[in-house]
């Protein structure tokens, strides 16, 4: 008997990354294999990765996923922004799986159900489930995960529309409670400043990365509130940092930083990209 599962079809394959399996595999593998990592201290709990088209941010993202090689997670929570006009604060998929040219990834709906209930207790609202969403920032990380891990894993996808600090904190802490008894990882999907000249972008991005290195999720949100820094996925990043801290992370390392200008040669208006890792050190 054939069982058909409800798979979210990719709206960005062939545009944001290659739709050909061999081309995509070779591209992603190259980004991961050419990443020259520093020595990582402690156990990896989470990473931060950019989410532009693979051509632009893939070389930086490769550092994030290179830091995950050798691990065997059962659950991977990917938190991203929601760039499209949905108005609910926190969203997730209603589909049973995500599809990319590399195959399908099962969604951990049992975990999402528990997370939804916990958030309703904490915040008074939970996760809004949506179908056929056009959001790229969560999906763009999936081919990297598929090429990094040979063993299957389940996905916990959350898209953050409202980046207030109290939402990020409660989301992160609720998520940590659900992941603590599993072999798990967290991925924060975010780019940094958008369309500033290179010298301005470096200042804005540097302020955000200072907060990341200081392991200060509130600071990640507050620097943008003060006009000192910018990260389009600041709510998702802060939530992952709160979760990582709750799971014992006590160190953050910036692994790589670049801008779109480093790919295009146009430094007049750039987008910033960074890779970081959060670890638990003894």
Residues 244-260 pLDDT 10s: 999 999 999 999 999 99
Q: Rounded to whole angstroms, what are the CA distances from 32 to 26, 36, 91, 155, 263?
A: 10, 9, 29, 20, 17
Looking at the predicted structure, is the pLDDT value of residue 83 above 90? yes
**pLDDT of the residue at 1:** 43
282 falls in which pLDDT band (50, 70, 90)? confident
Average pLDDT, integer, range 79-93: 96
The first and second tokens of residue 96, run together, are 């049973």
Alpha-carbon distance 112 to 41, whole Å? 31
Question: Per-residue confidence at 4, pLDDT binned at 50, 70, 90?
Answer: confident
What is the sign of the dihedral through the CA atoms of 179, 161, 53 and 99? Answer: positive
Please answer whether residues 116 and 81 qualify as being in contact, where contact means their C-beta atoms are separated by less than 8 angstroms.
no
What are the phi and psi torsion angles at 3 (to 5°)?
-115, 120
Whether the Cβ atoms of residue 215 and residue 278 lie closer than 8 Å to each other: yes
**Is 0.85 surpassed by the pTM of this model?**
yes
Could you read off the pLDDT of 232-246 as tens digits, one per residue?
999 999 999 999 999
Report the distance separating Cα 112 and Cα 126, nearest Å.
10
> Span 18-44, mean pLDDT?
97
Q: Is the pLDDT of residue 2 over 70?
A: no
**pLDDT one-digit tens code per residue, 136-171:** 999 999 999 999 999 999 999 999 999 999 999 999
pLDDT value of position 3: 64
CA distances for 259 relative to 146, 152, 220, 263, angstroms: 25, 32, 19, 7
Please report where in the chains the tokens 């638990």 appear, as a residue: 280
Percent of the chain with pLDDT over 90: 98
CA angle at residue 135 from 58 to 25, to 5 degrees?
35
CA 197 – CA 194 distance, rounded (Å): 9
Q: Do 39 and 179 touch, CB atoms closer than 8 A?
A: no
Average pLDDT of the chain is 97
How many whole angstroms separate alpha carbon 220 and alpha carbon 274?
Answer: 14
pLDDT score of 41: 86
Q: The domain 7-280 is classified under which CATH number: 3.30.540.10, 3.20.20.140, 3.40.830.10, 3.40.190.10?
A: 3.40.830.10
Nearest to 184 by CA among 278, 256, 99, 97: 278
């Amino acid at each position: 008997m054939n069982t058909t599962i409800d798979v979210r079809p990719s709206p960005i394959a062939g545009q944001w990354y290659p739709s050909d399996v061999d081309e995509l595999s070779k591209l992603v593998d190259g980004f991961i294999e050419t990443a020259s990592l520093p020595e990582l201290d402690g156990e990896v709990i989470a990473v931060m990765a950019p989410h532009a088209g693979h051509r632009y941010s893939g070389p930086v993202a490769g550092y994030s996923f290179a830091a995950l090689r050798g691990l065997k997670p059962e659950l991977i929570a990917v938190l991203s922004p929601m760039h499209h006009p949905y108005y609910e604060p926190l969203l997730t998929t209603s589909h049973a799986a995500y599809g990319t040219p590399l195959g399908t990834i099962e969604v951990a709906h049992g975990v999402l159900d528990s997370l939804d209930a916990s958030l309703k207790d904490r915040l008074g609202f939970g996760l809004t489930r949506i179908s056929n969403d056009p959001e790229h920032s969560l999906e763009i990380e999936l081919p990297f995960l598929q090429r990094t891990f040979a063993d299957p894993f389940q996905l916990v996808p959350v898209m953050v529309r409202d980046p207030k600090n109290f939402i990020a904190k409660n989301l992160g802490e609720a998520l940590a409670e659900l992941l603590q008894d599993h072999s798990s990882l967290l991925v924060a999907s975010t780019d940094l400043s958008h369309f500033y000249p290179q010298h301005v972008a470096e200042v804005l991005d540097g302020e955000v990365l200072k907060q990341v290195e200081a392991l200060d999720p509130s600071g990640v949100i507050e620097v943008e509130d003060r006009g000192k820094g910018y990260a389009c996925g600041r709510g998702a990043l802060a939530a992952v940092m709160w979760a990582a801290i709750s799971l014992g992370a006590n160190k953050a390392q910036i692994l790589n930083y670049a801008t779109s200008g480093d790919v295009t040669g146009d430094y007049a208006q750039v987008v910033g990209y960074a890779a970081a890792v959060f670890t638990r050190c003894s």
